[in-house]
Amino acid sequence: MANPNAKGINYPNVAGMIYVVMEIIDPIFGTNLSGYVPVKLGIAYGDRRAMKIRLDKQKTGSSNKKKIIGSFAVDQDTDIPTPEGTLGGVFEMEQYLHSVFLAYGWKQVGEGTEWFAVPVAVAEMLNDIRCNKNGSEYKVNWAACPELARAFCYAPEHDEVPSFAEERAVQLQGCRYTKINTSKRSKMEERLDAIAPRSYDRDYMLRRGAVDKWTMC
């Protein structure tokens, strides 16, 4: 499951955020008739504020606009449906979903390992799930990518993840922003997170059947 080409420092089995960003090609370059769109599935080792800071840093360097079409939390010790059976966090979930994309034959594009050309239906599915979580009632075409649909639909609520406890927020040096970094927990925080009670199950990726608004958390 792990991608040997993954760059940067990887922190196993810690909570964090997964985001999916779609690149919008400027119409001046013509209409995209391929049926595919470029998306990036990446992670932040922290809460949604850490994710936002990470995304803000990525806005430069491209003439194309980028739109967040989905983001969700991943807790530690989440069941990842690998052949060997894996309990993992945000890094393991990212690697699993990347492997799913490759298994479907969706090509990696651009530099790095996080950008993929995925069918338009996948982007539409993520957008519909996001709208439903915000109170709309769209019918979700979960079959476009059942694995990604489960990860998004059944993800724990951000504020319920023990590692995102507000008292752990730290002030960033030289600015007014704060964030939570789950890769820099103390040993005591790691022990507390391991035994903290949860209001949700962490085996949701093992579920089967349709994914829709009636079966969302």
Please give the pLDDT value at position 123: 95
Report the C-alpha dihedral over residues 165, 171, 172, 177, rounded to 10 degrees. Answer: 80
Please give the pLDDT value at position 125: 95
Strand runs labelled E in the chain: 16-24, 36-44, 65-74, 78-80, 86-88, 115-119, 170-171, 178-179
Q: What is the largest CA-CA distance in the chain?
A: 55
* Under-70 pLDDT residues of the chain: 1-8, 28-31, 59-63, 173-177, 212-217
Please give the pLDDT value at position 217: 44
Please give the pLDDT value at position 167: 92
Both structure tokens of 79: 């069941």
Please give the pLDDT value at position 174: 63
Please give the pLDDT value at position 139: 85
Task: Say if pTM beats, i.e. exceeds, 0.75.
Answer: yes
Do residues 71 and 51 touch, judged by C-beta distance below 8 A?
A: yes
pLDDT digits (tens, 9 = 90+) for 57-102: 876 656 678 899 999 999 999 999 998 889 999 999 999 999 999 9
Please give the pLDDT value at position 6: 56
* Rounded Cα distance, 188 and 155, in Å: 25
